[in-house]
Amino acid sequence: MTNYERVRDGDIDPAVFTATVLDEASVLRSFGSKTYQTFLDKFKGIPYKLVATATPSPNKYKELIHYAGFLEIMDTGQALTRFFQRDSTKANNLTLYPHKEDEFWLWVSSWALVLTTPSDLGYPDEGYDLPPLEIRRHVVAEGYNSNLDRDGQYKIINDVTMSLAEAAKEKRESISIRVAKAKEIVDSDPEAHFLLWHDLEAERNAIKAAIPDVVDIYGSMDYDERERRVIDFSEGKTRLFATKKSLSGSGCNFQRHCHRAIFIGIDYEFNDFIQAIHRIYRFLQTETVIIDIICTEAEDPIYRTLMEKWKQHNHLQQRMREIVKKYGLGGVQMAEAMARSIGVDRVEVKGKNFVAVNNDCVEETKKMESDSVDLIVTSIPFSNHYEYTPSYNDFGHNKDTEKFFEQMDFLTPNLLRVLKPGRVFCCHVKDRVLFGNATGMGMPTMEPFHAMCIRHYMGHGFAYMGMITVVTDVVRENNQTYRLGWTEQCKDGTKMGVGCPEYILLFRKLPTDHSKAYADEPVAKSKDDYTRAQWQIDAHGFWRSSGDRLLTKEELEKMPVDRLQAAYRKFSRGSVYSYADHVALAKKLDEDGHLPATFMVVAPGSWTDQVWDDINRMRTLNTTQSQRRQQLHVCPLQLDIVDRLINRYSNPGDLVLDPFGGIGTVALEAIKGGRKGYTVELNSDYFRDAVGYLQEYERTDDNFSLFDLLEA
C-alpha cells in the first residue's frame, strides 16, 4: 500500500505485481496529466487491475474512457472517435453522440460496474437505505458591495460572473455576509452538529471570529493535533467543525453524529463538492441530511453548473444500474466486438465531374495511375492530434509525431507519383500545442509541425516552393488552449509565445524539362483575363480599396464592436503602421468596453499576399453540417483557402485530388470552379456527407459545362 507519487516518481514498479488497485480513480481523470501518461505505461500488461471511485465521471462522460484506456479495454483515441462528437471551434470540447448513448453505456457495462444499493444485484436494501437528502440554497443579495463601475455608477448587485478570476473576486468580497448567514443557520438549530465547509483562509478566520465555539483545522497545523480534532468531531465530542474540502473532503466518516453541512462558499469543482457531501450522506446515517449552500446572486452560474453536474452524475449511476439489472455482470463479448478495425471495403461514387471514394488513402493512391492528377489540395491530419475513425488505418492513430510520419512514408511517394510533372501539391497544416503537464516543462510549448512536414515532403522528392500564412484570431486561440493568457503574461512574460497561424505549404513535382522549369502541362492564364495591372498588385501584395477614404481612429473608437474587426483590418492595411498607436487604440477601446475577451477586433492587417488575413473562418461546409444537424468535421478547411489555391494552381478542366477528403470541401470547390474533383475519405460518415454535397450541387447546377460537351 502506497501513494500515487511513490509509483509515479519513486522506485515502486507496478510490473512486478500480478494485481493492482487504484483506490481513487480521480488520478486518471486528466488525460494530459503527468500521472495519467506515466501510469498508462507503468501499469500496462498487469493481469489484474481494478479502479474504484465513489464519484465516477462527475463532470463529463468522456472521463470514463480514461479508465478504459488504463484498464486496456480500448485506447482513448478509439473511444473518443467512436462515441463523442468534437467541436471544431473549441479545443477538447467533446460531447456524447445522442444516437450513441445506448451503445456507449452497454460498452461501459462490459468492463465497469456501478453499485449503489444491494438491490442493484437483486438483494434486499434493508439496512442500506439512505435517509432523505434536503438541499437548501441561501442567496445573500446585499450588504457587501459598494463598488463603482467604470462609468462611475454604483452597482446594486455584482455582475453575474462566469470566469474563475471573477468568481474568486466575488468570493473574497462577500466573506462577511456569507459567514453571517452561516452563523444564523447554526444558531437556528442549537442541538445539531454542523460541518462548515470553506475554501479560503480568510473565510476560516471570519468563521472563528463570528462563531467562537467552532473547532477548525488548517494545512499548517500540527498533524497530530489535526488528526485529533477530526476524530473528536467524527465521534461527536465537538459540535461545530470548520474545514476545507482539500483537507477533509475524502476518506472521512462524519455520519454517525452529524447530519448537517454548510457550504459557506462554492466553486466549479463538482468532484470536491459531492465528495464533501458524502462525508455525512453515507451508510449508517439515520437522520435526514440537510445541506445548506450559501452563495451570492452573482454566483448563480456556479450554483447552476454544480446542480447540472449533479444531475448528470445521477443519470450516469441510474443508466449503469439499469444495465446491470438488465444484462447482469457479463458483456465482455461486447468489448471484443468493438475492437479497432483494420482495412475498409472500398466504395466508389461517381458524378459528372467528381469521384468520391470511401477507402484508405494509401491503398487508393497506390492504385491510381502515375501522372494523372493536376493539383493536390489537402489538409493532412495534425499528427496524433485527432482520430477520425476507429481504425488502424486512421492517420491519427499514432503514438506520436514520429510514428505519424512513418505512416506518411507510405502515402507521400504515391502523392508524388500520381501528380503530373511540374504541378503543385498544397498542404494545409498547423503547428501543435504541447501542454506542459504532458511534456513535464510546466508550460505550453509548440511542436513546429509545419517545418517537420517540409522536411518530410522534401525527403520524398517534392520541391519546396514556399508557404502561405493564414492568420488566426489569437484571442479565440487562447480561449481554446489557455497558453497566451494576459494574466500569466503580466506575471512573467518569458512564458509567452505568440499566436499559432495556419500554413499552406507549397510543393512542386519537378517537371520533365528542367531547362525552363515549366510544367509538362502549364497552368496558363490569358493576359486579357489576368492583366498586367492585376499581376503587379498581386505581386506587390499591397491591395488598397479605391474610392472610399480610410477610416480615422476616432471613427473606429465609436464603431459598434460587431463591425470593428473588418473596419480595423481595412484601416491597418492602408496606414503607416505604428506599434505604439496600435496599443493605444486597443487600450482606448478596452476602456470604453469595446475590446471583447472572446475574439480580436484590432488584429493587424496584412500588406502581402504571403500572409492572408481575410479568410472567413465561418465559411466552411461545417456551417451546412450544423444546419442539417449532422456530424461536424473536427478540422474543417475554409472554402476561401481552397478557392484561391484551385484558381492559382490549376486550369479549368483539371483534376484536383484530396487524399484526406473529409466532408468533400476540396472536391466541391473544384467542380464549382470548373475543375474535376477526386476525394478519398476513410470515415464512412464523412464520406456519405461528402457524396451528398457533391450530388446535390450537380443536381442543382443548371449550367451547360465544357465537360458536358466533352462527354457527348
Top pLDDT among 343 and 176 is at: 176
User: What is the band of 709 on the pLDDT scale with cuts at 50, 70, 90?
Assistant: very low
Segment 383-406 mean pLDDT: 77
Closest Cα to residue 178, out of 225, 134, 144? Answer: 144
Tell me the pairing of strands 354-358 and 215-216: unpaired
pLDDT of 234 > 80? The answer is yes
Q: pLDDT for 23-55, tens place per residue?
A: 877 777 765 677 777 888 889 999 999 998 876
Per mean pLDDT, which of 168-172, 372-376, 386-390 is the most reliable? Answer: 372-376
pLDDT of 183 > 50? The answer is yes
Question: In Å, how far from its chain's centre is CA 515?
Answer: 50
Q: pLDDT for 462-515, tens place per residue?
A: 999 988 887 766 666 666 566 666 777 778 778 777 777 888 899 999 999 998
pLDDT at 161: 45
pLDDT at 541: 30
Could you identify the residue written with the cell 487508393?
Answer: 364
pLDDT of 170 > 70? The answer is yes
H or E element at residue 176? helix 175-188
Domains, the chain: 4-112 (no CATH), 133-325 (3.40.50.300), 348-541+608-711 (3.40.50.150), 542-607 (no CATH)
Top pLDDT among 381 and 462 is at: 462
pLDDT of 694 > 80? The answer is yes
Dihedral pair phi/psi, residue 502, rounded to 5°: -100, 160
Q: pLDDT for 541-572, tens place per residue?
A: 322 323 333 344 454 455 565 555 565 555 55
pLDDT at 277: 94
User: What is the band of 708 on the pLDDT scale with cuts at 50, 70, 90?
Assistant: very low
Closest Cα to residue 608, out of 507, 470, 498? Answer: 470
Segment 644-670 mean pLDDT: 91
pLDDT at 83: 75
CB atoms within 10 A of CB 52: 10
Dihedral pair phi/psi, residue 680, rounded to 5°: -120, 130
Angle at 456 (CA atoms; ends 454, 462), nearest 5 degrees: 75
Top pLDDT among 403 and 262 is at: 262
List of residues 6+ apart from 422 with CB closer than 8 A:
508, 509, 510, 511, 512, 517, 518, 519, 520, 521, 522
For 423-476, give the DSSP string.
Answer: EEEEEEEE-EEE-HHHHSSSS-EEE-HHHHHHHHHHHTTPEEEEEEEE---HHH
Top pLDDT among 120 and 99 is at: 120
Could you identify the residue written with the cell 444531475?
Answer: 311
Segment 400-425 mean pLDDT: 93
User: What is the band of 99 on the pLDDT scale with cuts at 50, 70, 90?
Assistant: low
Segment 338-366 mean pLDDT: 87
The answer to whether 439 and 445 are in contact (CB under 8 A) is yes
Angle at 156 (CA atoms; ends 154, 157), nearest 5 degrees: 120
Q: In a 3-state reduction of DSSP, which class is residue 341?
A: strand
User: What is the band of 216 on the pLDDT scale with cuts at 50, 70, 90?
Assistant: very high
Top pLDDT among 632 and 71 is at: 71
Residue 414 class from Cβ within 10 Å (0-12 exposed, 13-18 middle, 19+ buried)? buried
H or E element at residue 216? strand 215-216
User: What is the band of 167 on the pLDDT scale with cuts at 50, 70, 90?
Assistant: low
Closest Cα to residue 172, out of 195, 205, 210? Answer: 205
Per mean pLDDT, which of 98-112, 363-377, 473-487, 514-528 is the most reliable? Answer: 363-377
Q: State the average pLDDT for the chain.
A: 77
pLDDT of 155 > 70? The answer is no
User: What is the band of 624 on the pLDDT scale with cuts at 50, 70, 90?
Assistant: very low
H or E element at residue 504? strand 502-508
**What are the cell numbers at 539?**
505581386
Residue 58 class from Cβ within 10 Å (0-12 exposed, 13-18 middle, 19+ buried)? buried
pLDDT at 321: 73
Find residue 391's DSSP bridge partners.
341
Among 168-177, 199-208, 611-620, name the one with the lowest average pLDDT: 611-620
pLDDT at 96: 73
**What are the cell numbers at 478?**
487562447
Among 115-129, 372-386, 576-590, 638-652, name the one with the lowest average pLDDT: 576-590
Q: What is the pTM of this model?
A: 0.57
Segment 690-698 mean pLDDT: 87
pLDDT of 447 > 70? The answer is yes
pLDDT at 615: 43
